[in-house]
Amino acid sequence: MQKVHEHIIRMSSKTPDLAGKVTRDDLWMGLMFFVTHPENFISVLEDAEIDENLHPDGTTTLNRKLNFGPYTVQDVVETIPQELIKFNIDETEAIPQSRFEVQIEEPEAGVFFLRFTYFENTEHEQVKDAEQYKQLRIQAWEQKDKDVANKLLEMIAQGKFIPTKQ
């Protein structure tokens, strides 16, 4: 698999009411909510089946089946608590094997970013044929990521997440 796109979104001090109030715990709980309740973030998702496996080392693996109506996507989500979420998407005839990662970064105390990184099997026929649409895919990914980030900040501002010890 090859990295095909990467970008970051600043999550702290984006809005005056959240200045200095966004924490790593908030971001982590929000991202886990995104993983376990994708229907709250993806409007075209009809339903999702999710099996969660907690491991002794604190990591979690989730097997998900996402139903978008005309097609279904299966992925395996791996987490490293408070740091990284990897979405490993199975290959189908229509889509290549791919991976999408979201990493929490804190370059200085209290300043948070989410780094979004996309990887694809670039040998898949759909990717080869769709090179002309690469910019459109990147724009769609970035818009989805902005929507997720904004929804997380909205939920944090509303106090939707109560930190728990990991």
- pLDDT averaged over every residue in the chain: 85
Quick check: helix, strand or coil at residue 128?
A: helix
Q: What share of the chain has pLDDT > 70, as a percent?
A: 86
- The ranges assigned to domains in the chain are 2-43+82-157
Region at 159 (left for phi over 0; alpha for psi -120 to 50; beta for the rest): left
CATH of domain 2-43+82-157: 3.30.530.20
pLDDT for 16: 53
Please give the Cα distance from 62 to 56 (Å, whole number): 15
pLDDT of 2 > 80? The answer is yes
Q: Looking at the predicted structure, is the pLDDT value of residue 12 above 80?
A: no
Q: Which two tokens stand for residue 127?
A: 């990717």
Tell me: pLDDT of 29 over 90: yes
Residue-wise pLDDT for 94-141, tens only, equals 778 899 999 999 998 888 999 999 998 877 566 555 666 778 888 999
Tell which residue, 145, 140, 143, has the closest CA to residue 130: 140
